[in-house]
Amino acid sequence: MRLFAWKSWFLGLAVASVALPAAAQETDQGFPTTGPVSGYMDFHFNKADGEDPVLDFHRFVLLLNHSFSARLRFVGELELEHAFVEGLEESGEVELEQAYVDFLLSRPLNVRAGMLLMPVGIINERHEPPVYNGVERPFVDTVIVPSTWFDVGAGVHGELGAGWRYRAYAVAPLNALEFTADEGIRGGRQKGSEANVRNIAYTARAEYRAIRSLTVGASIWTGDSSFATPRLDTGVTVGEFDARFRRERLELRWQFAQVGIADAARLNDVLERSTGVSPNIARTMRGFYGEAAYRVWNAGAPRDLVAFLRYENFDTQFRMPDGFVPLKEFDRDAWVTGITLYPDPDVAVKADYVYLRNQSGLFPNRHLFNLGLGWWF
């Protein structure tokens, strides 16, 4: 109770300093300190042509943080997806997406260990609803980069100066036996749940921001992912490049990602023998997107409105191993356009329309209409 009262007092003092920015009050925070609970939520309405509309409380996420000292900190992120847990992902799931301790040693070198977000792509480490346009995350950041992509591991991160930042982790590998033709490597995430680490995977990201408007990044993830079947040698490599540009009302985003799976032919053979059906897993999957957004109403929340247009191209059957034919329904592209209204900088009311096409003549293209309400606190 006393702790709560102290925190309330501190928060009140801090808020007062915001209300009077010209005379901001300074307080030095002591340690150890447990921060207030933060989090984000995502509430969606989805309507696809020919299907019944769906209301989904997609994400309920709580973040906790604790500072043991100025240099030793814990961050945790616990997520409930689809509001109800029955034991299958389709019905909902509880995920521990982050739970790590940071050892903040110096600007260029810090150590992190625990449950980590893979530092791959724009969205995986920046997935709060007000941060991105569109009710759902980009397809490329779902199918090619399987965000939210997290697993157990340890590594280093820091800033090298002159606009360079990096992180590099050793983490648990993917499980290749869970790869699919439709969603690529997504099903292979071990999610830190008694993860098999007979093999170790490595991931790293470098970011460069030398000017205020532009950030460019490159990521890699590589690891042998066939621990469940030692006879296989299913090395997986994910390479990714991205750029974000923002000046005044304009924001541009671009991302390219490619997945390479070594020995995909043998992986298909092994899976076919055990299930009777060839999963038709590709040896290369590829996706990219470009997005332009413009703040058409820029008078400050609640008069804050962004319109955007995004083109995505993603193919989980991009290159097949010898003897396998690509399933063209998984060679897809999408036009996504919509608006994001910010009644508060932390609250995003979203609406978008998606035209999702595939290269198969057998499966129809899809039209989707989505509404979303997302918030951060």
Count of residues of this chain found to bind another protein when the rule CB under 8 A is applied:
49
Tell me which residues in 271-290 interact with another protein (CB under 8 A).
Answer: none
DSSP 94-134: EEEEEEEEEE---SS-EEEEEEEE---TTTTT---GGGSSS
Q: Tell me how far, at minimum, the Cβ of 342 lies from another protein, in Å.
A: 8
Closest to another protein by CB, 73 vs 253, is: 73
Closest to another protein by CB, 32 vs 36, is: 36
15 in contact with another protein (CB under 8 A): yes
Distance CA 270, CA 181 (A): 15
Closest to another protein by CB, 117 vs 271, is: 117
Instruction: Tell me the two tokens of residue 45.
Output: 């309405």
Binding-site member from 12, 53, 345, 364 for another protein (CB under 8 A): 345
Closest to another protein by CB, 262 vs 348, is: 348
Stretch that binds another protein, among 20-28, 87-95, 180-188, 283-291 (CB under 8 A): 20-28
Q: Is residue 3 helix, strand or coil?
A: helix
Closest to another protein by CB, 38 vs 222, is: 38
Torsion of CA 274, 278, 283, 285, to 10 degrees: -120
Distance CA 90, CA 12 (A): 42
Distance CA 358, CA 289 (A): 16
Distance CA 241, CA 217 (A): 6
Distance CA 134, CA 336 (A): 8
Q: What are phi and psi of 235, to 5 degrees?
A: -75, 135
250 in contact with another protein (CB under 8 A): no
300 in contact with another protein (CB under 8 A): yes
Binding-site member from 1, 4, 21, 248 for another protein (CB under 8 A): 21
Beta carbons within 10 angstroms of residue 198's beta carbon: 11
Q: Tell me how far, at minimum, the Cβ of 64 lies from another protein, in Å.
A: 9
131 in contact with another protein (CB under 8 A): yes
Binding-site member from 44, 58, 59, 157 for another protein (CB under 8 A): 157
Distance CA 268, CA 278 (A): 6
Q: Tell me how far, at minimum, the Cβ of 366 lies from another protein, in Å.
A: 30
Closest to another protein by CB, 129 vs 223, is: 129
Binding-site member from 8, 29, 274, 278 for another protein (CB under 8 A): 29
Binding-site member from 3, 5, 22, 88 for another protein (CB under 8 A): 22
Q: Which amino acid is at 30?
A: G
Q: Is residue 296 helix, strand or coil?
A: strand
251 in contact with another protein (CB under 8 A): no
- Please enumerate in sequence order all residues whose Cβ is within 8 A of that of 84, keeping only pairs 6 or more positions apart, or say none: 91, 92
- Residue from 147, 269, 157, 256 nearest 206 by CA: 157
CB of 72 closer than 8 Å to CB of 101: yes
Instruction: Tell me the two tokens of residue 9.
Output: 């007092």
Closest to another protein by CB, 3 vs 23, is: 23
Binding-site member from 130, 187, 239, 290 for another protein (CB under 8 A): 130
Distance CA 236, CA 140 (A): 17
CA atoms within 13 A on the CB side of 252: 9
Closest to another protein by CB, 294 vs 311, is: 294
- Residue from 168, 53, 57 nearest 118 by CA: 168
Tell me which residues in 105-124 interact with another protein (CB under 8 A).
Answer: 107, 112, 117
Q: Tell me how far, at minimum, the Cβ of 165 lies from another protein, in Å.
A: 7
Q: Tell me how far, at minimum, the Cβ of 293 lies from another protein, in Å.
A: 14
Stretch that binds another protein, among 134-142, 189-197, 338-346, 365-373 (CB under 8 A): 338-346
Q: Which residues bind another protein (CB under 8 A)?
A: 14-15, 17-18, 21-29, 35-36, 38, 40, 63, 65, 70, 73, 75, 77, 97-98, 102, 104, 107, 112, 117, 125-128, 130-131, 157, 159, 161, 165, 209, 212, 300-301, 304, 344-346, 376
